[in-house]
Amino acid sequence: MAKLKILKVGDETLRKKSRPVDKITPRILTLIDDMAQTMRAANGCGLAAPQVGVLRRIVVIEAEPGKLIELINPEITEASGERECIEGCLSVPGKYGLTKRPERVVVRALDRNGNTVEYVGTELLAQAFCHEIDHLDGKLYIDIVERMLREDELE
């Protein structure tokens, strides 16, 4: 496994729409493994392939330690409720803002074996699903932020 370089805001790759994965190859599986290692090394709870320069619809999320979720071609099929979130991003280091995200989402995707999987996420997991899937469409949380936070507001 390899630790990948995380692109930062300003890199035009982050603003491009990712292509679906047509076939799960050994190269795709290696990418997923490398993304998980990179996310953990950066102390993140999610990482999308565009953040490491790969315009494919792949996401890894670990909102709870030890519970890695790997999503290929994810889509949100249901969203309900609304909650205010403090949001940050590995591609926007050291900055945080207030956003509004759904309280609950249902996501359908493929797993690493090509099986269709469905996840129901609430609170932080719902936020992570929305945040990472936004990356696949070239969107960053700073596009929807209501207000950026000062450092003293994070304590």
Place of tokens 């759904």: 102
pLDDT at 3 over 80: yes
What is the length of the chain? Answer: 155
- Prediction pTM value: 0.95
Q: Which residues are catalytic?
A: 132
Does some domain include residue 135? yes
Does some domain include residue 3? no
Domain holding 137, by residue range, is 12-153
Does some domain include residue 109? yes
Q: How confident is the model at residue 2 (pLDDT cuts 50, 70, 90)?
A: confident
pLDDT in tens, 76-122: 999 999 999 999 999 999 999 999 999 999 999 999 999 999 999 99
Domain holding 31: CATH number? 3.90.45.10
Does some domain include residue 2? no
Q: Provide the domain count of the chain.
A: 1
pLDDT at 152 over 90: no
Q: What is the DSSP string of 29-77?
A: HHHHHHHHHHHHHTT-SEEEGGGGT--BSEEEE-SSTT--EEEEEEEEE
Does some domain include residue 7? no
